[in-house]
Structure 1
Amino acid sequence: MWKRIGIMVCALLLAACSNESDQPAPTLGADAKVAKAYLEEQGYDVVSYEGDRTLSFEKADLLELPTRSTWEVQTTPPDDYIGRDIRKERFIVRDHPLDDVAELGQTNVSVMMVDGEIIGGTSYPDSAEPLTGASYSLDGKTAEELHPDYMEWRSEWEAKYSE
């Protein structure tokens, strides 16, 4: 009896461990194809497609992480997208300004899209170790680089979205 239980436990463990490798690679839909072409036009070498996510946010979320850190590195204001579904097409690329920040020499990018149109995106270094910190813009800039007087910009942001 113990032998049967042991065999069953081993079989379950093997099935659980092998489940991840059985997952099919995500396929490029229409939005992903647009995003991939955009990234290639920007000079990035697309290594892989990592799938998509859909998200939305409300005005109050613009004062909280992670929504605030995503939108503070966009050149497009968030106002037209409050309450709307935003699709994030996720890729790993090379030849990006953040490639040398971590040991893998490549970068994760998320292209943000609404109704098939690119509205912005984020990037962060691809690393074997977990990373902390705020998002970078799609082209690897920090919020401080995009808003030279960051503290003044932040005060205006908080006043606008806390109303």
Structure 2
Amino acid sequence: MMWKRIGILLAVVLLAACSDASEKPEPTLGADVKMAEAYLEEQGYEVVSYKGNRTSSFEKSDLLELPTRSTWEVQTTPPDEYIGRNIRQEHFIVRNHPLGQANVFVMMVDGEIIGGTSFPDSAEPLVGSSYSLDGKTSEELHPDYWTWREQWETKYSE
């Protein structure tokens, strides 16, 4: 009789555990992720997958060094307002991008999209600088690149 009660009690506990697990909501994506994803879709990109996020910051002197310089060279927003602030980068794989299937990092501060970077989605190791969020090089964004670069170096080395 005691074994029967233990068996029934065990069955009830297992059923309760199973039903409780099925009622838990699936993990949801945060507001920043949803905003970044919607932004990418508005640009005509098909989001294949979400790869996570990271947060970084930089100081003025970092703007003269890689990788910070190469990231900010391909932004249309100047970096000055973001020096010393946390920048969240939401990472996605997208299709229909000028680079083909691509990794994109949407840069956000306080829930606002401030820019981003991209690079081809490749199984092979890649070498070189980032592209802008829409696949442009720093030379495409700054047609007189060397003059622009001199001004950049003068401004951020002060």
| Band the TM-score falls in, shorter-chain normalisation | 0.7 to 0.9
Does 1:128 find its partner at 2:129?
A: no
Matched position secondary structure for 2:97: coil
1:27: how far off?
5.5
The range that moved more, 28-37 or 141-150, is 28-37
For residue 109 of structure 2, what is the aligned residue in structure 1? 114
Correspondence list, 1:4-153, <5 A: 28-99=29-100, 106-153=101-148
Which ranges of structure 2 fall in alignment gaps of 5 or more residues? Answer: 1-26
* 1:91–1:56 distance in 2 versus 1, CA, 3 Å: same
TM-superposed CA distance for 1:116, in Å, is 0.2
**TM-score, normalization by structure 1:** 0.80
Shift of 1:29: 1.2
**Structure 2-normalised TM-score?**
0.82
2:86 & 2:123 partners in 1: Cα distance?
Answer: 30
Contact 1:69-1:135 within 8 A present in 2 as well: yes
TM-align CA RMSD: 0.9
Secondary structure of 1:95's aligned partner? strand
- SS at the partner of 2:91? strand
- The separation in 2 between residues aligned to 1:144 and 1:29, in whole angstroms, is 35
Larger Rg: 2
1:28 CA drift (Å): 2.1
Corresponding residue of 2:5: none
Taking the aligned partners of 1:160 and 1:116, their CA distance within structure 2 comes to 28
CA contact (8 A) 1:28 1:49 kept: no
Give me the identity figure in percent. 81
